Amino acid sequence: MPNTLPIAVTPLTPQIERFVLHFGEMGSRWGVNRTVGQIYALLFISERALNADEISELLGFSRSNVSMGLKELQSWRLVKMAHQPGDRREYFGTPSDVWEIFRTLVEEKRKREIDPTLTMLRDALLEKPSDDQERYAQQRMSAMLELIELSTTWFDEVQRMSPETLESLMRLGSRVQKVLGFADKLRFSGKKNDTPDA
C-alpha cells in the first residue's frame, strides 16, 4: 500500500519566514502574485522537495491556491516535480544550481516580454509611413529595435558560456568599463593623428 502518511512539518524559523515574505512582496514587482513568490521562496530555501499539502500548511494558503501557484511556477520552468518511492503525491523543488535558475528566468522573461516586442517593432517597420509623424515614430522604433536586438544577441552569447566563465565575467565589473574607456581613448587619439595637417 502506498505511503501517504504526512511528514511532520517543522514551522518556518523567523529568518526563513522573513525571506519567504520578502519574496512574496517582491513577486508583484517581478510579474507574479504574492502567493507564487512565497511558494517559490519556500521551495528554493527548503532542504528537500515538498508536496502541496506541506506547502499549504507551512504558508497557510489554501490547497487550491498552492496548486495554481505550482502550475504557474512549472510554466516558468522554475520548479521541478518528482515522485518518491511508495508515495502517490507529487513533490516539488527548485534546481540546485542558481545559475540554471537565473538562465531559465531570463529565457522565460525574454519569451514572454522581449520576443513579442521585437515582433511588433519589426512588423511596424515593414509598413510604409503615411506622414512625417509616422516617419519620425519609425526612426525611434528602429533605434529601439537595434538596441533590443543588440542586447538579445549579447544575451545569446552569454547563455552559451559556462557558469564559471559567466561568473568570472560578472566579477570583472568596473574593470571592463575601464578597458573599454581606454580603448575609446586609443580610437579617438588614432582618429586625431589620422587627420591631415592643414
Domains assigned to the chain: 14-93 (1.10.10.10), 98-192 (no CATH)
* pLDDT tens per residue across span 30-71: 888 999 999 999 999 999 999 999 999 999 999 999 999 999
Cell of 75: 510554466
Cβ-based neighbours of 32, under 8 Å, separated by 6 or more: 40, 72
Give the side-chain half-sphere CA count within 13 A for 16.
Answer: 15
What's the CA gap between 166 and 40, in Å, rounded? Answer: 24
What's the CA gap between 107 and 123, in Å, rounded? Answer: 23
Choose among 110, 109, 112, 81: nearest CA to 95: 81
Alpha carbon 185 to chain centroid distance?
35
| Segments of the chain with pLDDT less than 50 | 1-2, 5, 198
Q: What is the pLDDT of residue 30?
A: 83
Q: What is the pTM of this model?
A: 0.74
Q: What is the pLDDT of residue 186?
A: 67
What's the chain's length in residues? 198
Q: What is the pLDDT of residue 190?
A: 60
Q: What is the pLDDT of residue 6?
A: 53
Cell of 12: 518556518
